[in-house]
Amino acid sequence: MMTAAELERSLREKNDLRRASGLPLCDVEKELARFHADQQAAAYAAFVAAHLKPHTTEWEGEPLPSSWSEAQARYGRYLRLQARLLPDIERKWVEQQSCQ
């Protein structure tokens, strides 16, 4: 996994090559902001998945769905679980972020 410092160094090196070639330069600040936003989104997704996992382990032993409608029913079950638990999970996420 690349760190922000490594990404910035890489972008600056690419910009040096792009400048020498006459190509438009990358916006380093914009790319770093995108990098941090992607890291935050990945951390949030992992946090939510970790909180949903204990509730979905009972479904692991079920056989694979045999039809599209069965798959949709199972996904609907997951979405209802997520909708029910998400307010509490988001509260915990905010608490965790405020402690950092």
Burial group, residue 83, by CB count within 10 angstroms (0-12, 13-18, 19+) = exposed
Predicted structure pTM score: 0.74
Residue 1 has pLDDT above 80, yes or no: no
Q: Give domain limits for the chain.
A: 4-99
| Distance, C-alpha 91 to centroid of its chain | 18
36 token code pair: 């941090």
pLDDT tens readout for residues 71-93: 999 999 999 999 999 999 999 99
Burial class (CB in 10 A: 0-12, 13-18, 19+), 63: exposed
Query: Quick count: other Cβ atoms within 10 Å of Cβ 4?
Result: 11
User: What whole-number distance in Å separates Cα of residue 57 and Cα of residue 63?
Assistant: 13
Please name the amino acid found at residue 24: P
